[in-house]
Structure 1
Amino acid sequence: MVFLKAIHIIPFLLILFEKCQTEKCDRIKIGKDYYKRTLIATIDGYPTGMVIDPRTDHIFFLLNKRNYTKGLHLLKHGSLGIKQLSVADDMIGQCVAIDTANNIIYIGTNQGLVIYEYSKSEISSERPIGDDDIRSIFIDKSDNQMYIITGISREVFKFMNGTTAIKRYEKIPKAYSFVLDSKGNAFYEYVDGRMYFFSADLYEPIQYKGFTRELKYVLQLNNNDEAILGVKGCLFKLHTNNILPEKIAQFGFKITGIAFDTKNNIIVGTKGKIYRYKPIEANDPCPPDDYFMSNI
């Protein structure tokens, strides 16, 4: 009798074991692929403007708490510490962009463009480029052209022929954020709180449908040269042949930052946490944790 009871218990234990294994993997489907989620940092606030240095996998982000900003921070790959990047007392760091072709890390401040150097572990503010109030930076990887969004009016300018001279970008006069793909298609959040695209084949911008105004959009290009948009707890892919965004994922939290590294991992920030989503291989459905955990 005892032996028969044991036989009935074994299948139950196997089911319980498989369930635990599945829950431990913490998978999510993004697009057509499955990803494993790993918590890599807990922070006091929420991250925005996330950028990854492809040479080091270090993560730069702006730390926000309630209604004020706690400055730019650096989360080094493999490190347990998160460092705040200090700038001169009369400057405020507001955004980061990485010129991968020339290995330069640009910091946008309220008084111009400055450079961060790992060797000195500081932001060089001795010779800022210009004196504009820089709110956002975008570097086009196809031609290494750099664009900036300035001031409270959010006007868009581009640097001319590798010089420090800037010219108004007529295609997008004003925007909170924007990206350009390699085909010259522009995707941007206009100052009216709506999302638009300006196709290289058209003569005027087109508004995306399905979004309400005054949402906090998070706009980035992924490694496939696709415009990815974070809205509340969802990810969307934007196309130029359809005014309806394509929903590709839904998270259980509000997205405040997105970045893509060279290993096809997706870094996602939310209130109090930064996650890494790693593609799951068919022969390794539940890969071990191989990243790092840090705290502020």
Structure 2
Amino acid sequence: MRFLEAIITATLPIFIIIHNHNAEKCERTRIGNEYYKRQLIANINGYPTGMVIDPRTEHVFFILHKRNYTKGIHLLKHGSLGIKELPIADDVLGQCIGIDAANNVIYIGTNQGLITYDYSRTEITAERPIGDDDVKNIFIDKSDNRMYITTGPNHEIFRFMNGSAAVKRYDKIPKAYSFILDAKGNAFYEYVDGRLYFFSVDLYEPIQYKGLTRELKYILQLNNNEEAIVAVKGSLFRLFTKSILPVKIGELGFKITGMAFDKKNNIIVGTKGKIYRYKPIDGNDPCPADDYFMSSI
């Protein structure tokens, strides 16, 4: 009997430790060398593209699509219980968003030029747009705060000069659906042939990436480490300028339609009907709390 009591006494603390460890576990997704917890932050009727995060407020902007039409640019405020559509005039089509955090300006690219937005306005008009181009894409280079726009049916790229409204054609990349520049000046872009390329500062011509299926509208973003990340269907890849082969860093299990990185290393990901936040898991906090309100539209 004493022998049996000794066995029970010896094994009881082990059971408690195992039980507590299991209670702390949560669903984890590996992306690169880190593990992330997935949190649902919005239910939407449609799917989001063109996602951008305001680093000052953590608000999320995105373009909502429903079946075969676009439902305008929407704003998901951090901690909000609702999502609202930006009040752009009916004859203006919002097509992309760019946030110049250094100068405290939010730009909206439209079919009639660039317009600006602030959170206090109840209506946005294009009475005095910056230019009259059909703006398809906006990229703001954090290294020098230069803004680039992709315009028109030919998807030509222009760079704003010295903070003015004057633009100059960006000859390094003649045409692209979307593109990004890292801190070193390396360019990553989707050319109008539907293929992915990079243009390294160490080379004299662009190089095509291999190994990816031809995919219109790749989702290209820079993470907080100035690394180029591309989403293809349900997978995430990191792009390098020393190799023509993208490196797979994650599999999310659903088709990704939008992606953005915030200043806390969270990844905001959009898919049909959902917007998720992937939050890095700290070893000291194995299952971080949900500190976002859940929104619906």
Same fold flag (TM > 0.5): yes
Per the alignment, residue 29 of structure 1 pairs with 30
Give structure 1 regions of 4+ aligned residues with deviation exceeding 2 angstroms: 10-22, 121-126
- The gaps in structure 2 that reach 5 residues or longer are none
| Distance of 2:19 and 2:275 partners within structure 1 | 30
Deviation at 1:151, TM superposition (A): 1.2
Q: Distance in 2 between matches of 1:108 and 1:177?
A: 13
Give the superposition deviation at 1:215. Answer: 4.0
Partner residue in 2 for 1:40:
41
Once the two structures are superposed, the pairs formed by residues 1-296 of structure 1 within 5 Å of their partners are 22=25, 25-296=26-297
* Offset at residue 159 of structure 1 (A): 1.1
Q: Secondary structure at the match of 1:129?
A: coil
Separation (CA, whole Å) in 2 of partners of 1:211 and 1:47: 23
Hey, what's the Cα distance between the residues in 2 that align with 1:143 and 1:125? 28
Residues 124 and 115 (structure 1 numbering): CA distance in 2 closer, same or farther, change over 3 Å? farther
Q: How many pairs does the alignment contain?
A: 288
Provide TM-score, normalisation by structure 1.
0.92
Q: What does the per-residue CA deviation read over 1:85-122, in whole Å, with 9 as the maximum and x for residues that have no partner?
A: 12122210000000011010000000000000112244
The aligned amino acid for 2:96 is: C
Counterpart CA distance in 1 for 2:290 and 2:144 is 37
**Which whole-Å CA distance do the structure 1 matches of 2:89 and 2:76 have between them?**
21
| % identical equivalent positions | 72
CA contact (8 A) 2:112 2:126 kept: no
Which amino acid in the other structure matches residue 92 of structure 1? L
Deviation at residue 38 of structure 1 after TM alignment: 0.3
Contact 1:215 1:231 in 2 (8 A): no
> Residue 84 of structure 1: CA displacement?
0.3
Structure-2 separation of matches of 1:121 and 1:56: 19
Greater CA drift, 114-123 or 39-48:
114-123
Distance (Å, rounded) in 1 between the aligned partners of 2:235 and 2:45: 23
How many Å apart are 1:289 and its aligned residue? 1.1
SS at match of 2:127: strand
User: In structure 2, do the counterparts of structure 1 residues 37 and 243 end up closer, same or farther at CA, with 3 Å as the change threshold?
Assistant: same
Q: Distance in 1 between matches of 2:86 and 2:37?
A: 30
Q: Which has the higher strand share?
A: 1
Is the CA contact (8 Å cut-off) linking 1:216 and 1:231 kept in structure 2? no
Q: Structure 1 pair 252/158, CA: closer, same or farther in 2 (3 Å)?
A: same
- Contact 2:161-2:168 within 8 A present in 1 as well: yes
TM value normalised by structure 2: 0.92
Q: Distance in 2 between matches of 1:16 and 1:285?
A: 15
Corresponding letter in the other structure for 1:292? F
Task: Please provide the CA RMSD for this pair.
Answer: 1.9
